[in-house]
Amino acid sequence: MVKLNKIYTRTGDNGTTGLGTGARVKKYDLRVAAYGTVDEANAALGIARLHLADEPALDAMMMRVQNDLFDLGADLCTPPTADEAPGNALRIVPEQVSRLEQDIDMLNAELSPLTSFILPAGTPAAAHLHLARTICRRAEREMVELSHTEDESVGAPAIHYVNRLSDLLFVAARYVNARGTADVLWVPGASR
């Protein structure tokens, strides 16, 4: 259980922050950037949820995703070690990825196949879901870069999760755009 009585500690005033292991790193460290971007995606998803009152099942799905994003942040802020005992640190697990795939399939079953790229627009809910999707893609890029950095690693399920999440957010945006019928289609060269 987390207990936060005092919000400011002054320990970051020197430009460092603490990882889940207690190690101090620069606030611009790639690991910190990755879990910071996950937090940003979570905040964008919170705004999207403000527009999902007419979609209670989708809102509940996104609430679960927000909780998962905190799990992902915890995973990222605690660098894995070679001798880490299972369950010693909170990690994204394959079952969370599978759940996203099930959600994608369920939502996508109600959508017509795409015949064009779509613009990140439409209803307010769709626009905010698209914003969360693009932030999620940035988190994925940072996580992959971190995983390819010497002496760093990121668990494969964490990378799979963020990749699948951006797919879910894309499908969810289409879903709230009148099940895809209100998608705003890209018209190549329309402004020439």
Q: What is the pLDDT of residue 111?
A: 97
Task: Work out whether the CA dihedral 166, 143, 69, 26 comes out positive or negative.
Answer: negative
d(CA 174, CA 129): 9
Q: What mean pLDDT is predicted for residues 52-56?
A: 97
- Would you place residue 4 in the very low, low, confident or very high pLDDT band (cuts 50, 70, 90)? confident
- Would you place residue 2 in the very low, low, confident or very high pLDDT band (cuts 50, 70, 90)? low
Query: What does CATH list as the number for 24-81+88-184?
Result: 1.20.1200.10
Query: Is 119 in a helix, a strand, or coil?
Result: strand
Please state the pTM of the whole predicted model: 0.94
